[in-house]
Structure 1
Amino acid sequence: MSESPDEVEPDDVRHVADLARVDLDDDEIDQFTRQFADILGYFETLDDVPEVDRKADLANVMRPDEEHDSLEKDAALRNATETEDGYFKGPNVS
């Protein structure tokens, strides 16, 4: 990766594309190099935002957990497209 965080090189884009297993041609490499540089520039503008020196007023807005009866297994599986041995069956993931 490039030495300077301000600088995006085409090799940086190729490296990220390889990690993501994305094939990019030279025109796309150039386009993404410019776009990545623009995006990093936007992050640099955050350095200009003044810090706020106050504590946030935080409050727990979640309700307490309550125990309720659950559905019977047959009722829960009633509308499932596929079940197996009393469980939901989903597609194989490879």
Structure 2
Amino acid sequence: MVENKDILNQILATLTEQDKFQEVVRIELECTRKEFQEVKKEQAKMYELLLTARERVSEPLDNIEALSKRVWSLEKDLSHMQRKTGMK
């Protein structure tokens, strides 16, 4: 009878450890989901910046001054995107 009790205690200890491990996995999964949502939000912002940059580049050019303003604005947007993604 003592052996059965020892075996049951070992099984109970193993199940308790598994429950703890599953809780850790659940917490890590939730953190990963939140980080993924953040990445998706940043990706959407970058896409909007790229669309804006494309619109600015495709606008007709009236003169050199307008061109230089658009180039400066585009460089500023690209620099911002690079900082956001850690490329700079």
Which protein, 1 or 2, shows the higher relative CO under an 8 Å CA cutoff with sep ≥ 6? 2
Q: Would you tell me which structure has more strand in proportion to its own residues?
A: 1
For normalisation by structure 1, the TM-score amounts to 0.29
For normalisation by structure 2, the TM-score amounts to 0.31
Q: Would you tell me which structure has more helix in proportion to its own residues?
A: 2
Which has the larger Rg? Answer: 2
